[in-house]
Amino acid sequence: MKATSNEQALLRGLAGNDSAIIEQLYKENFSTIQAFILANNGSYDDARDVFQEAMIALYEKAQSGSFVLTCQIKTYVYSVCRRLWLKKLQQMGRFSHPVDNLEETISVEDDLEQHAKHDAAYAIMDRALKSLGEPCKSLLEGYYLQKMDMQALAAEFGYTNSDNAKNQKYKCLMRLKKLFFAQYNIGE
Amino acid sequence: MVVEHAMFLQQINDYSAIKSIKQTLAQTHQNLLERGEISNSETVSSSAKIVQLFHKYKKVASIAASVGGVIALFISGLALYLSPVSHNNQIQQLSNDIAAIKKSQQYQGKLINEVKSKLPAGVKFISGGSGFLIDAKGFIVTNAHVIKGTGAIVVDNNGKEYVAEIALIDQEKDLAILKIDDADFTSKKSLPYSIRKSTTDLGEEIFTLGYPRNEIVYGTGYLSARTGYEGDSLSYQLQMSANPGNSGAPVFDNAGEVIGVLSTREAQLEGVVFALKSNNIYKIVRDYNEMNDGGKDIKISTRSTISRMSRKKQISTLESCVYYVKSFDK
C-alpha cells in the first residue's frame, strides 16, 4: 500500500521534530508494539526502548531526501520493532518462537543496517563530547544543540565579546573532531 | 581536509538532531503516560488499542458489532472456563483426560462390563496413561500427572486388569510408583530389560511402547537434546510423535534399555517430546526403599536380555511389561 498524503504529512512532521505530530505517531503505534514485546518475553521498559529506537530509524529515513515509504507507517514501525526485538532476544539467548498478531511485516534489513551505522556514529560522538570536558562540552552543546547565537553564548560563558566566543568554540570543535576521528573510521 | 571537516560538521548536526528527537520522544512518552493514554503495565492489555480503534472507526462502529463482540467474548470466556487447566500452556502433558476420551470410554465401558471390571463400584475413572514394570514383583513406574485420583488399575496388553496401589508419588520429578496388589497377578521371573543409570547421547535412536488408545502402540524417534523444556536438566528432548495417553511410557534405546519416561510434549511444535531421564527412576526407588526398609524392596534389573534381538522380537517381549494405567477417584 502506498503511503497516503496524510501519512506523508506525518513523516514531514517527524522530520521537522514537530512534537504534536510525534505525539500522534506515538499514540497510534505504541500500544501495538507494547503488546508484541510483552507477548514475547519483554518488559514495559523493553517496549519503550525498542519503540523509540524504531521511531529514530523512521526519523532518519524521513530526513534523507531520497525517502519513499512504500507501506503504512504502522507496518513499517511494527516491522522495525519486530526485527530489533528478535535480534535483541537472540543476543540475550532468550530466543523463542515469535508470537505475532498476524500483522503485516515488510523487510527492513537494509534500513536497519543504515540505522546501526548512524547509531554507532551517534555513540562515538556522544563519548567524544563527554570526554571533552568543560567548558568545551557546554559551549558546543549550546551552539549545536540548543542553537544559541554567539552573542548569547558569550554572555552565558563570560567571554568579553562574540568573537572571543567564536574563537573558543572553534578550538573546542577542533578538539572534538580529533577525539571523534580517533574512533570513527571514514572508510566504513 | 575540507571534505573531512564538512563531513564532521554533518556528523555534529546529525548528532544534535537525533539527540533532540530523543528528547522529544522521551518527553512525549512521559506526557502520554501521565495522561494515561499509554499504559506502563507489564501485562498484555489491549484496552488502549481498542480505544484507538474505536476512535478510528467511530463512524462505522454499530451496536450490532458490539453485541457480536460481547457474545464472542462470552463464548470464548466460557470455552476458556470449561477447558481443562494445564499447568503450562507451552507444554502438554500426555495423560488422557476423561472428557477428551468420553467417546472411547463408552466403548471401554462396554468392554469393562464384559470382563467384570475391577474398578470398585461407584468410583470415577479420571485420568489415564501408560506405565511399565521396573521390578518383576509388580512395581510399575508412571508419571505423577497420570495418577490424578486416589487409586489405579493397570491393564496389560491382553486387556487383563489388575488392581494397583499407589506406592509413591514424587510431584517434583513427576514420577510415581504403583504396586500391583492383585491375587490374579503372577510375577515374572525377571524383566527382559534394564534401566540405564547414566545419561544417553544425542542422536541415540529410541523407541517407545504406550497406550494412547486402548491398544498398545509402537513409536520411534531419536534423542534430540540433552535437556528438556527450557533447559530442564531432569529430562531429554526427543523427536518423535506422541499423543495423550503416552505419558508414563518407557523410552528404550536400540539395546532395549530404558533411558527415560515419556512425559510431556511442546504444544506448539510438532514432534517435540520430553522424557524424564531414567536415572530419576533410581532416585525414587531409593526413596521408596528408604521408606519401606525390609520386605518390599524394589530391585531394578541392570541386565538387558533383548539387546541382540530384532526389533519385532524385542517388542513382543516388551509388550507384556507395559501397562495401560487408569486412575480413579472415589
Query: pLDDT tens digit string along B8-61?
Result: 888 888 888 888 888 888 888 888 888 877 777 776 555 455 555 555 566 566
Integer Rg of chain A from CA: 20
Question: Which residues in chain A touch residue B45, judged by CB atoms under 8 angstroms apart?
Answer: 35
Q: Tell me which residue of A83, A81, A56, A58 sits closest to A3, measured CA to CA.
A: A58
Q: Has this prediction a pTM greater than 0.80? A: no
Asked whether A16 and A9 are in contact (CB, 8 A), the reply is: no
Q: pLDDT value at position B151?
A: 78
Question: How many CA atoms are closer than 13 Å to the CA of B80, on its beta-carbon side?
Answer: 7
pLDDT above 70 covers a percentage of chain B that reads 81
Spatial distance between the Cα atoms of A186 and A181, rounded to a whole number of angstroms = 8
Spatial distance between the Cα atoms of B283 and B225, rounded to a whole number of angstroms = 22
Helix (H) or strand (E) holding B259: strand B258-266
CA distance between the termini of chain B: 91
Q: pLDDT value at position B122?
A: 65
Residue carrying C-alpha cell 477428551 = B100
**Average pLDDT, integer, range A119-138:** 86
For chain B, which domains are there? 2-82 (no CATH), 96-329 (2.40.10.120)
User: Residue B103 burial (CB < 10 Å; 0-12/13-18/19+)?
Assistant: exposed
Q: pLDDT value at position A144?
A: 84
Residue-wise pLDDT tens digits, B169-180: 888 888 999 988
**Average pLDDT, integer, range B231-239:** 88
Q: pLDDT value at position B258?
A: 93
What the block records as the C-alpha cell of A47 is: 517496549
Integer Rg of chain B from CA: 29
pLDDT above 90 covers a percentage of chain A that reads 4
Residue-wise pLDDT tens digits, A69-122: 778 888 888 888 988 888 888 887 765 666 655 566 777 788 888 888 888 889
Give residue B286's Cα distance to chain centre. 24
**Which of A30, A97, A129, A170 has the highest number of chain B CBs within 10 A, making it the mutation to test binding with B?**
A30
Q: pLDDT value at position B207?
A: 93
Question: Which residues in chain B touch residue A56, judged by CB atoms under 8 angstroms apart?
Answer: 18, 21-22, 25
Which pairs with CB-CB distance under 8 Å and at least 24 residues apart come from A95-99?
A96/A40, A96/A41, A97/B268, A97/B269, A98/A40, A99/A36, A99/A39, A99/A40
Active site residues of B: 145, 174, 247
Q: Tell me which residue of B164, B231, B210 sits closest to B321, measured CA to CA.
A: B210
Q: pLDDT value at position B114?
A: 40
Interface list for B 48-67 with A (CB within 8 A): 48-49, 52
- Is B109 a residue whose pLDDT tops 50? no
**Average pLDDT, integer, range A158-168:** 82
